[in-house]
Amino acid sequence: MANSEFQKELTEANFGDLESLFGVKYTKSGNTYSFGIASSRLKNTIALDIIVEEGENLISVYSENSHLQLQSCKAFIISQMLEEVIFYSDCGEKISGLIISKQGDCSLYANVDKKTLKSDFMNLNSEKLLSAVALSVIESL
């Protein structure tokens, strides 16, 4: 793991790292933590909600034209170099990841077979290659 990447448990105690990455303070309502992420360069805004519940954390991203959701998220990885966070859910042989950049870009990769992350990337088709590269940092932890 590179010095600019680190894994954290998804708890309120670690949300300061998300505030630092996004450059915004979160608001709290009950067990929901909300971040408003705006990019003047890209002229977009997204809302990130994290609902913390025992073992069943829920990550929701709302934009002007989409809603993405990752359930059963227990941890996240911040990459300072890429200025992004990867929230992920590990379900046995499958892994799902929701990637959010400081600029408000979002990508969701769901139910990716862990074998794909360990594959020779040269042998993957372009669609599987995208998910393998994006989520490979999780397998290196």
Question: What's the whole-model pTM score?
Answer: 0.88
Residues 6+ apart with CB under 8 A from 132: 112, 116, 117, 119, 121, 124
At 28 the pLDDT is 96
In order along its 141 residues, the chain shows pLDDT tens digits of 444 567 888 988 899 999 999 999 999 999 999 999 987 776 788 999 999 988 789 999 999 889 999 999 989 999 888 899 999 998 889 999 999 999 888 999 999 988 888 888 888 888 888 888 888 877 765
Residue pair 53/31 in contact (Cβ under 8 Å)? The answer is yes
**Which among 117, 73, 78 has a CA at the least distance from the CA of 97?**
73
Q: Where do the domains of the chain lie?
A: 5-139
Residue pair 90/71 in contact (Cβ under 8 Å)? The answer is no
